[in-house]
Amino acid sequence: MDEFLNSLGDFSIYLSVFTGLLYLIGFRKNSKSYRIFALYLILIALIQVGAYYVGRGHLHKSNLYYSHFYYLGQFVLLTIFYASLLKRKWLYSLVVLMLFYAAYGLIKDPESFYRYNTLGMTIAHAILVLYSVLYLYKSITDKGEFVIVSSGIFFYLLSSTLIFATHNAVSNLDLTKETKNILADLNVILYMLFLILILIEWFRNYNSFKGVYKNGSNEG
């Protein structure tokens, strides 16, 4: 089972890279929101590959510090993404506040760079979930883009936050490594589902090849 989930973890990294590259197709001709989301996917793919290389992929060193790049990079890019979708520029101020909070924490306790910032991650994810709810609510009346992705962000970040909160809570309950690894495996499966929703969004709404194919068949 462990080998299967390790393979699933490896596959999720490949899929993450593939999804990022896929969104680069049509990068220039699509909307600002699309371009920001493509950059977000590329950033997450780079973090995944980097963490894998430093960790079990090659160096076998601790890669926990990548979590800071992950949650801060994700927060910054998805806030800009939703500021564009929701047309609320004041959301940028939350980026500044979050970066100040993260910088303050690291200056106060430099060693915390090598640990999870559970509170920071939870706050960042909760705000991102709130954006997705606001956008999905808005989409009921105004048909907008990235509804499938927003559903994915809502369900994945909410689940992931609960998993990591539980993961840290169970640390105090002396539960075994195996139990914690089950939570990590569950997170990998949910991440795969999130990536699949992102791929569905692209194939349904941004697949430029579909247009080419349609034109081709019309000509034929």
- Binding stretches for other proteins (CB under 8 A): 2-3, 6, 9, 51, 55-56, 59-64, 66-67, 70, 116, 163-164, 167, 177-178, 180-181, 183-185, 187-188
CB of 112 to other proteins, least distance (A): 14
Q: Which residue number, 91 or 186, has a Cβ lying nearer to other proteins?
A: 186
**CA atoms 47, 70, 199, 78: torsion sign:** negative
CB of 94 to other proteins, least distance (A): 25
Q: Which residue number, 14 or 213, has a Cβ lying nearer to other proteins?
A: 14
Q: Which residue number, 32 or 61, has a Cβ lying nearer to other proteins?
A: 61
What secondary structure, in 3-state letters, does 151-186 show?
HHHHHHHHHHHHHHHHHHHHHCCCCCHHHHHHHHHH
Q: Which residue number, 67 or 150, has a Cβ lying nearer to other proteins?
A: 67
Q: Does residue 86 contact residue 138 with C-beta atoms inside 8 Å?
A: yes
- Cβ-based neighbour number of residue 102 at 10 Å: 18
CB of 126 to other proteins, least distance (A): 18
Residues 6+ apart with CB under 8 A from 6: none
CB of 164 to other proteins, least distance (A): 6
Q: From CA 155, how far away is CA 128, in angstroms rounded?
A: 11
Q: From CA 72, how far away is CA 122, in angstroms rounded?
A: 11
Q: Which residue number, 56 or 138, has a Cβ lying nearer to other proteins?
A: 56
CB of 45 to other proteins, least distance (A): 14
